[in-house]
Structure 1
Amino acid sequence: MRNVLISGASVAGPALAWFLRRDGVRVTLVERAPDLRDSGYAVDFRGAALDVLADIGILDEVRAHETGMRGVTMLAPDGSITGELPASAFGGDLEVPKRALTRILHQAVDAEFLFDDTITALEQHDDRVTVAFERAPARDFDLVVGADGVHSAVRRLAFPAIDPIEHLGMSGAGFTTGNLFGLDRRGLLQPDAGRAVFAFSAGDPDRMTVSLSFGTATPELDRAGRAAQEAAVRAAFAGHPWPEVPRLLDAMAAAPDFYFASTCQVRLDSWSTGRVVLLGDAGYCAAPTSGMGTSQALIGASTLARCLAEADGDHTAAFERYEKELRPYVTDNQQLGRQAVAAFGGDAADSPESA
């Protein structure tokens, strides 16, 4: 194994690239975005994910960007205070802005990056994979890794007959706006009958991140235009009793970084086929409600790289070992994601059989 292509330059892809480069592998990363992504909200790390950051040599630098969240105030539907949650309930062992993590990982990786491009075709051979790109000329690689998220282009090409996305009965929008509530490294959570408003400010005292979630699956809107997505959010929050909600809906309309998604998981019987393997959300998204997405991406990258290094060129054995080691961890995380949606009031079951 001398030449590997990774699709996706968010977290899982660059982390894997660092480990492969350490082992002497030539790596190319292709990313649909025109440049390094400077968006995203706070991400957190739990347990062994901190060890992966330490292995890469960036733990101290990542810690320097810790949000320092102090806690979350619970509100009743009318806005009155009902309780308090510790910062650890949302932030894990360490929480940083997503843009900081992305930049740090990118700077740590010595690899070729192809921005503003994507994979359009995969042709597998016994000894290589021929890859066609939207912009770059076609090239051969020893292995191809799909680390390109829930709606993975690599997965769609490598597993064309399978739709592994399972929607869990919950949707939501996210955006940033001015710090309307004067929050200082704190959050507000206002749940109301299958709806929830979560707002917090961390890192930038002038900005506030807002999440508006509701207990309805809307997979048809994931690829729709912003107007239809905003309309769905407004319909879900119509008549909300908290007087601040109309102001937040107005802020949503003006936000340049509006994001919408239905909460889902990716569930596959196998994470590889031939010389193509999936990593992170592309292969086994546990849903944002699990709180484990970033940790799972880092641990998956470390595990896959180690299995490849120990397999002495036998990618089939490496992929089998990677999946055998990681699947129990993924199964537990997906169960957490489903349980959180069920507690919120979505449709996800919480039985072991459904995880």
Structure 2
Amino acid sequence: MPNLTNSSRIEPTRTQSSKRTALVVGASMAGLSAAAQLTDIGYLVTVVERAPQLRLVGTPIDVRGEALAVADKMGILDAIRRNKVSSDERPVFTTFVDASGHAVAELPLEMANDSPDDVEISREALINILHARIGSDTKFVYRDWPVALSQTGQGVEVGFAGGSSANFDIVVGADGIHSSVRKLVHGPEHLYRKHLGVYYAIVDLPSGALGIVNESRTYNCPGSMVGINDYGDRAYGVFAFRAPETEYDYRDMAAQRDLLTRAFRNEAGWHIPFLLDAVRDAPDIYFDSVSQVRMSGWSQGRIVLVGDAAHAASLFSGRGTSLAMLGASILAEELDASNHEPSVAFTRYESRLLPVVRKAQEGVIEARDFMVPESQNKINERNSRFPLKSLRH
């Protein structure tokens, strides 16, 4: 297991070992995948995470396509499959309901998957599997993040919010759509993040809430969506609503709750009041813009971006985790193949992954309009395409 000691200072790692050193910023899917695979090719890795611990809250995610081969190479595919949440007990991906809760349409599972091999797994389970896969020499530091990056011919001098500084051979920015590394190296967020006209939120619910067990139910009113996804041992409420880009502090939970509450204050259909009460009472919620990140390049010198920091496709793509795992794998492969020459490895990494990213980013607007139709007519049109089994001929 990785070293979980949370030091108040990040010491220069070169003095600890003759190994090459890497700083990974962010301990989510991209960061943990990168840390594991950089360790495999001989790096001494430090992972720094702004949150006080690993972030486990979130709806289940998909491991699909080439990411399955990456998981197999890492030796974690069997563990991922053992922890999958999909089963024969959940025959449909989601059931659409009307304001009274009556089922009006259902989306078959095959509509959500690329192939029968795709694996749906809880965020918590995958985070724990990736975390356990990382070598014991890896150091994790929480409640800290880079505030200064200065490149020299032989490394990157990193200044941290906690007051320490250290030098690393390479720095990997895996800190998500609001990446601090991207901002320090490439400039303000607005240059790269494109808001797709929707905000999205998740809140934990008690399992079996309102009698919904082992299924997903979704209700749409014009321009918004709410749902309850129950996976037996975990349940989540989800929200999405159309809105232009809104100025708010994305780290301010009170501001997030206020935006969400105001977006649904005039809606009382289905279980919206229950879900808003859950938002009010929850110690933590997830809330953010549905956005894409588009960049012409993901590296500068010895600093490189992976995952959503480089190329968020948005949650409507269903491919964020798979892209993160694949990107981390390609990055490690190219570092190893280039004898750890960053300029060569990072260029090859970008050229190999970019076509996959562009494909994942396509079709997201169509998926948005499917899940969050802007009018009642479009809701009715969508539902008519996927009638209940009892109504099919």
Taking structure 1 as reference, are residues 115 and 228 closer, same or farther at Cα in structure 2, changes over 3 Å only? closer
Instruction: Tell me how far apart the structure 2 counterparts of residues 181 and 125 of structure 1 sit (CA, whole Å).
Output: 59
Instruction: Tell me how far apart the structure 2 counterparts of residues 59 and 176 of structure 1 sit (CA, whole Å).
Output: 27
What whole-Å deviation, never above 9, does each CA across 1:189-229 have from its counterpart, x for those lacking one? 1122111112111141xx52011111113442352633332
Aligned Cα root-mean-square deviation (Å) = 1.9
Superposed counterparts of 1:1-355, under 5 Å: 2-68=20-86, 70=90, 71=92, 72-90=94-112, 93-110=118-135, 111-135=138-162, 137-160=164-187, 163-178=191-206, 179-204=208-233, 207-221=234-248, 223=250, 225-240=252-267, 242-343=269-370, 344-345=372-373
Instruction: Tell me how far apart the structure 2 counterparts of residues 199 and 90 of structure 1 sit (CA, whole Å).
Output: 17
TM-score w.r.t. length of structure 1: 0.91
Amino-acid identity (%)? 38
CA contact (8 A) 2:23 2:170 kept: yes
Letter aligned with residue 15 of structure 1: S
What whole-Å deviation, never above 9, does each CA across 1:75-116 have from its counterpart, x for those lacking one? 123322112223454466111111111111111101121122
Instruction: Tell me how far apart the structure 1 counterparts of residues 42 and 255 of structure 2 sit (CA, whole Å).
Output: 47
Letter aligned with residue 213 of structure 2: D
Instruction: Tell me how far apart the structure 1 counterparts of residues 239 and 64 of structure 2 sit (CA, whole Å).
Output: 25
Instruction: Tell me how far apart the structure 2 counterparts of residues 36 and 327 of structure 1 sit (CA, whole Å).
Output: 28
Taking structure 1 as reference, are residues 6 and 219 closer, same or farther at Cα in structure 2, changes over 3 Å only? farther
User: Which stretch shows the higher mean deviation, 191-200 or 60-69?
Assistant: 60-69
What whole-Å deviation, never above 9, does each CA across 1:3-53 have from its counterpart, x for those lacking one? 111101111112112222111122111111222223222111111111111
Instruction: Tell me how far apart the structure 1 counterparts of residues 270 and 105 of structure 2 sit (CA, whole Å).
Output: 19
Unaligned runs of 5+ in 1: 347-355
Instruction: Tell me how far apart the structure 1 counterparts of residues 125 and 154 of structure 2 sit (CA, whole Å).
Output: 38
Q: 1:349 — aligned with what? A: none
Instruction: Tell me how far apart the structure 1 counterparts of residues 146 and 72 of structure 2 sit (CA, whole Å).
Output: 32
Q: 2:4 — aligned with what? A: none
Instruction: Tell me how far apart the structure 2 counterparts of residues 219 and 321 of structure 1 sit (CA, whole Å).
Output: 37
Unaligned runs of 5+ in 2: 1-18, 375-393
CA contact (8 A) 1:149 1:281 kept: yes
CA contact (8 A) 2:58 2:202 kept: no
Instruction: Tell me how far apart the structure 2 counterparts of residues 123 and 54 of structure 1 sit (CA, whole Å).
Output: 37
Instruction: Tell me how far apart the structure 1 counterparts of residues 241 and 188 of structure 2 sit (CA, whole Å).
Output: 31
Instruction: Tell me how far apart the structure 1 counterparts of residues 32 and 268 of structure 2 sit (CA, whole Å).
Output: 44
- Secondary structure at 1:221 match in 2: coil
Taking structure 1 as reference, are residues 222 and 80 closer, same or farther at Cα in structure 2, changes over 3 Å only? farther
Number of equivalences: 344
